[in-house]
Amino acid sequence: MAKITAGVASSHVPLLGVASDQNKDADGYFGPIFDGYEWTRAWEKAEKPDVVILVYNDHASAFDMKIIPTFAIGCGERYKPADEGWGPRQVPDVEGHPDLAWHIAQSLILDEFDMTIINEMDVDHGLTVPLSMMFGKPDVWPCKVIPLAVNVVTYPPPSGNRCWALGEAIARAVDSFEGDLNVQIWGTGGMSHQLQGPRAGLINKEWDNRFLDGLVGDSDHLRRIPHIEYLRETGSEGIEMVMWLVMRGALGKSTRLLHRHYHVPCSNTAIGHAVLRPDNGEGFDMTGSDAIHAVAAA
């Protein structure tokens, strides 16, 4: 049967894609950022997820102002990297998982989440940068991907609580899929950043780290953070962190932290990254990789 075995949170700054594509990922500026993902790249090789449900936002690439879906799920066979004005990233096409994606889409709608269904689109840095950070530079991405796009550009975006509840519904949908799949869910975007206006460049390390703390354990106070708090404390684009709550909601009541990384700056943005395991008595350490990590850390 299909199970969500882990959650990953990560920023998706476009400059990281540039650094990866131009082999600058070990230089003085980018080295400390990519180093913080090294643990995760080794862990992903051991975990071998079949499918990643990748929660991200489109940045005026696939969607313009004509149609603004609050929650959209990609049910297509494959997706090409978008041309964001500098030519498409030279990374592999993203292969979808239409069987699971359509199952989730149908289940969510019956569960009263009225999803927009996407059959064809290009995917921008919001989706391809996390793949590069977690998998490096393979010729083919090592798993299938179900894009889940959230509107965090035109106000109002969904509330943190609604994102969390969507995550819970996604977990229920995955549980009822007939097929043996190791599924991960990734929440991307953030952390603090503001890309516009005289206040651009805002970074709030204290707030970001409290948010990272809050992802761990059984605390659900994060779901009650109002939009205005993200805006005031973490910059206008910090609102992307509501997408992390879709991931957190899908992991159930409690989580355990496997890995955490935080770095300032990457261009205009604070980089945050966490790897989480659902910790509700199921024991999803399917590869022994948590034990390996515990030994390495001791």
Catalytic residues: 125, 193
Whether the Cβ atoms of residue 121 and residue 96 lie closer than 8 Å to each other: no
The closest of 178, 258, 174 to 216, measured between CA atoms, is 258
Strand order in the sheet with 122-123: 94-95, 78-81, 122-123
Residue whose CB is less far from other proteins, 39 or 63: 63
Whether the Cβ atoms of residue 34 and residue 26 lie closer than 8 Å to each other: yes
Distances (CA, A) of 293 to 40, 142, 256, 259, 290: 11, 22, 13, 9, 5
Residues near other proteins (CB under 8 A) are 14-15, 59-61, 64-66, 83-86, 153-156, 159-162, 192, 194-205, 207, 223-224, 226-228, 231-234, 236, 264-265, 267-268, 270
Residue 249 to residue 84: CA distance in whole angstroms: 31
Residue whose CB is less far from other proteins, 182 or 194: 194
Beta bridge partners of 71: 150
Residue whose CB is less far from other proteins, 44 or 122: 122
The closest of 147, 46, 165 to 108, measured between CA atoms, is 165
Instruction: Compute the least distance from the CB of residue 292 to other proteins, in Å.
Output: 34
Instruction: Compute the least distance from the CB of residue 16 to other proteins, in Å.
Output: 13
Instruction: Compute the least distance from the CB of residue 12 to other proteins, in Å.
Output: 13
CA-based R_g, the chain, Å? 18
Instruction: Compute the least distance from the CB of residue 206 to other proteins, in Å.
Output: 9
Instruction: Compute the least distance from the CB of residue 141 to other proteins, in Å.
Output: 24
Q: How many other C-beta atoms are found inside a 10 Å radius of the C-beta of residue 110?
A: 10
Per DSSP, 25 falls in state T
Residue 130 to residue 136: CA distance in whole angstroms: 10
Instruction: Compute the least distance from the CB of residue 22 to other proteins, in Å.
Output: 13
Residue 233 to residue 102: CA distance in whole angstroms: 37
- In 116-172, DSSP assigns E strands to 116-118, 122-123, 144-150
Strand order in the sheet with 182-188: 116-118, 71-74, 144-150, 51-56, 182-188, 3-10, 269-278, 255-266
